[in-house]
A and B are shown apart, each in its own frame.
Chain A
Amino acid sequence: MSLNFNTPDFEVIREESRCIQCKVCVHQCANTVHSYDEEDNVVCADDTKCVNCHRCVTLCPTKALIIRRHPLEFRENSNWCGKAIKEIYKQSQTGGVLLSSMGNPEPFTIYWDRILLNASQVTNPSIDPLREPMETKVMIGRKPEKLEFDSDGKLLTKMPPNIELKIPVMFSAMSYGSISRNAHESLARAAEELGIFYNTGEGGLNREFYKYGKNTIVQVASGRFGVHKEYLNTGAAIEIKIGQGAKPGIGGHLPGKKVGEDVSATRMIPVGSDAISPAPHHDIYSIEDLRQLIFSLKEVTGYKKPVFVKIAAVHNSAAIASGIVRAGADAIVVDGFRGGTGAAPTRIRNNVGIPIELALAAIDQRLREEGIRNYCSLIVAGSIRNSSDVVKAIALGADAVYIGSAAVIALGCHMCHSCSTGKCNWGIATQYPELVKRLNPDVMYKRLVNLISAWNHEIQELLGGMGINAIESLRGNRLMLRGVDLNEKELEILGIKYAGE
């Protein structure tokens, strides 16, 4: 074996005067960074293994630990920066594809942060959400072109199935397998309490979770893991996953070490086998094929459940979205390039796809130009970080949003980008029982409820400030938005004016 060129990314600093050698960090770190030296009665650290997940820092009783970016610098070079060099070391050592976790971390423009919201002054009163009703409920699903009434004013039109969200935020697809059972349970229980939905992801659904069915969206992806009639009928809606923002163009990948007994039963695959979804659905090679899958799923479920189609935000999203509406989908889900993932090839994650803000604006506008926007709901995902991102997304034209990273952060994720190792110290992206049990669903589901309730209050305040008391009046209401630090083209695509205009 050749020399290992890798140097540590982080430095573990232990303030010896504070450390009481309690060994909490030794036991807590699944990456075995910390070790106890009995002879000298000291706790030591191997910096090279640290992923900076903050588990030890948070649990250390004396707050003796600090993790810092490792001070080791390469010679300054804007082209051959440390990251570029280290990636070459890694690949020349392993001969493998670089893998990463969570969403695209590269410094691309975050459009949410360049969009500002409006508020009422004088000519139009703001509305106080503490004193007046403030509605955030939305209905997701297909809508008929118009309603028809008979001569006695009785409604003749039969409404297609729609799901009701009390708050326009849902938990996006994270499969059982990529995340732990306890994480799944927390999401399901929170969705139930909040009157919203969580998504099974492509790993099927554990039978013990069938009881949360009316708050569950069941996913059908190219691997078809765990898909059967009962599964489809258990959910409130079905989502066909064509693509995902973190890795457009390829399928999901669950390493065999995450496939234990339970995951294997749920996915209907052997224990320990890699679950690799094909890049395309092998029965979808064009839009007509998608239509067939949509309608077979509707047939199986008696036309009682809306069928969503999820795509990654790519260059031609607007035209693709239009095709999806015409193919009969009840909702389109668009996932931007910052969307998180358990594991994705680094090159794809960092270089494929487009920002969700631009994709959303383009899709909403295109569907309106074609007069079909009202037929179908539009859900966006791909790094919605807070309630103002939600409000901006809706004003650009979304009906609702999905959150994935924000939800796992609420469960304790510290964004260490190491989910693919399966050794998540927070019990989220792991299947090791001793790690999974660190996440107590009884406590953690409450954090999700808190988070979304807090966002809801903030959404209501922002709405009230704009003089709006129902969220549907914000949808596509782009006059409520203004841009800063954006060029003409960006403003044109976003369909908004510059601040001061």
Chain B
Amino acid sequence: MLREGELRIPSGCAISGIIDKKGKKFNGKEIIKSIALMHDRSNGLGGGFAAYGIYPNYKDFYALHIFYENLSIKAQTEDYIKKHFDIEKAESIPTRYTPNIINVPLIWRYFVHPRINVCLSEENFMDESEFTSRCVIKINTDYKGAYVFSSGKNMGTFKGVGYPEDIGEFFMLDTYEAHMWTAHGRFPTNTPGWWGGAHPFTILNWSVVHNGEISSYDANRRFVEMYGYKCTLKTDTEVITYLFDMLVRKHNLPIEKAIRVVSAPFWDDIDREKSEEVRSELKSIRAVYASALVNGPFSIILGFEKGMIALNDRIKLRSLVAAEKNNRTYVASEESAIKIICDNPEKVWSPKSGEAVIVLMEGEQE
């Protein structure tokens, strides 16, 4: 049977996210409780979390989380990492025995700095982040049996095959404190159960959890692949992550505009816009980024260093609920998954189709 990455597997899912916009940290138990409530939306074949602010002592280092299938690929990959990065610290990620979690790969993390002289010498000049993302893509494409599943700064992804609550238990997320958590429970229609296939999917500081199956997948994939990305996983989540990374990091679009790209307004609505300036801007966005429009049912939660964005497709074919209380914003596939961790929210709403919930950390500009 082909493994994920060698074929494309549709899946349905549950998602949940919490952010404290003042940056106050809280324990991983809450997000586990929220995603566990939606147990029936997953089928035990994938669960995962992204946590922001968890590595304050290494906040200037890229934290590479890597799955290895065996020791020999670990040695080869580490050779590659050593050539391209200075390693501040390497350790196996702490886990605890959890009965339902089986077939565990080797799970390591490295806090690293790109070796500037290598950045400079290899292919002209690249900035640090571009260099790091290319190295990650290189390992994931060329080192069979090794898979980098997290590569941001002061953030980390924890994921695997199992129900999300078991994965949280396994990775001991109750020992981490973060100001933003996102979670995912997966319902793939068929999977050989590969740990790398679970969500969130990340590149650098971007993480995406996603519910849905995008019908524009191959149009989006072939578009981002023109800009140096390689979709090794063949998942919707991966391609959405790359789209955002490309639009915001490489093309420098304001996040607002990037959202307009992936969830573009309808032509009829554009024609109804009163201001000529807005009309022509939206038209240009649709014309230039036609292939970056994400089509089909989806709800996604994007995490990045500045905050969190939750977004639905253009005709809201997937559920998404948001709530606010004090400094926190919650989003989830179901309202119950919020209520169980947040009594009496001040505000609960269902974001409209194509309308994003954007929560930025205080002091961050769009």
Q: Nearest-CB distance from B190 to chain A (Å)?
A: 10
Q: Is the CB of A469 within 8 A of B295?
A: yes
Q: Is the CB of B293 within 8 A of A470?
A: yes
A474 to B295, CA, bound (A): 9
Count B interface residues, CB 8 Å.
49
For residue B295, which residues in chain A have a CB less than 8 angstroms away from its CB?
A: 467-470, 473
For residue B294, which residues in chain A have a CB less than 8 angstroms away from its CB?
A: 473
For residue B287, which residues in chain A have a CB less than 8 angstroms away from its CB?
A: 139, 141, 143, 159, 162
Count A interface residues, CB 8 Å.
42
Most buried by A among B8, B215, B267, B283: B215
Contact string against B for A residues 92-106, beta-carbon threshold 8 Å, 1 for contact and 0 otherwise: 000000000000000
**Is A466 positioned at the interface, with any CB of B under 8 Å from its CB?**
yes
**Is B345 positioned at the interface, with any CB of A under 8 Å from its CB?**
no
Q: Nearest-CB distance from B194 to chain A (Å)?
A: 19
With A153-B256, A371-B227 known as contacts, the answer to whether A477 contacts B219 (CB < 8 A) is yes
Which of these, A125, A154, A469, A474, contacts B219 with CB under 8 Å? A474
With A137-B267, A468-B215 known as contacts, the answer to whether A123 contacts B12 (CB < 8 A) is yes
With A467-B297, A469-B314 known as contacts, the answer to whether A475 contacts B219 (CB < 8 A) is yes
A137 to B270, CA, bound (A): 12
A123 to B213, CA, bound (A): 7
**Is B253 positioned at the interface, with any CB of A under 8 Å from its CB?**
yes
A470 to B293, CA, bound (A): 9
Q: Is the CB of A368 within 8 A of B253?
A: no
A481 to B216, CA, bound (A): 13
Q: Which residue of B has the minimal Cβ distance to A501?
A: B7
Q: Is the CB of A155 within 8 A of B281?
A: yes
A155 to B279, CA, bound (A): 11
Q: Nearest-CB distance from A125 to chain B (Å)?
A: 6
A477 to B221, CA, bound (A): 9
Q: Is the CB of B267 within 8 A of A472?
A: no
Q: Which residue of A has the minimal Cβ distance to B246?
A: A146
Q: Nearest-CB distance from A458 to chain B (Å)?
A: 18
For residue B266, which residues in chain A have a CB less than 8 angstroms away from its CB?
A: 133, 135
For residue B225, which residues in chain A have a CB less than 8 angstroms away from its CB?
A: 368
Q: Is the CB of B315 within 8 A of A123?
A: no
Q: Is the CB of A472 within 8 A of B189?
A: no
Residues of A participating in the B interface, judged by any CB pair closer than 8 Å: 120, 123-125, 127, 132-133, 135, 137-139, 141, 143-144, 146-149, 153-155, 157, 159, 162, 368, 371, 373-374, 466-470, 472-480
Residues of B participating in the A interface, judged by any CB pair closer than 8 Å: 8, 10-12, 189, 212-213, 215-220, 222-223, 225-227, 251-254, 256-257, 264, 266-268, 277, 280-281, 283-291, 293-297, 314-315, 317, 366
Return 8 A-B CB contacts under 8 Å, by A number.
A125-B317, A155-B284, A159-B288, A467-B215, A468-B216, A468-B296, A473-B219, A478-B222
Q: Which A-B residue pairs are the 9 nearest by beta carbons?
A: A473-B216, A473-B295, A472-B290, A479-B218, A467-B215, A123-B10, A477-B219, A146-B251, A124-B213
